Amino acid sequence: MKKIVLICVAGMSTSLLVSHMRDAAKADNYECEINAYPIADAPSVIPKADIVLLGPQVKYMSNKLKNEYPEKIIEAIDMRVYGMIDGKGALAQARRSMEE
């Protein structure tokens, strides 16, 4: 089961997107675990993740996190997808990045 982690400033602004992503995964019969965390939790959650999606508020941390976790897939959530709270689009982005 794939573990998809979303990171933002406090872990709350992405919670609605996580809910929509879970709905999209259920509709596609895609087994995964999707959770949102604050940036402060990054060191404890990134090592366990298959992919890390960054909210716009922490997009600036992308290079730093990629350097710290070179074996992990880390990328910013597409701004349009994030702004529209498009769970299906965010899940599709994660799956593309994991080459599924």
Q: Catalytic site residues? A: 8
Report how far residue 44's alpha carbon sits from residue 28's, in angstroms, rounded to the nearest whole number. 29
Amino acid at site 43: P
Alpha-carbon distances of 28 from 31, 43, 88, rounded to whole Å: 9, 30, 10
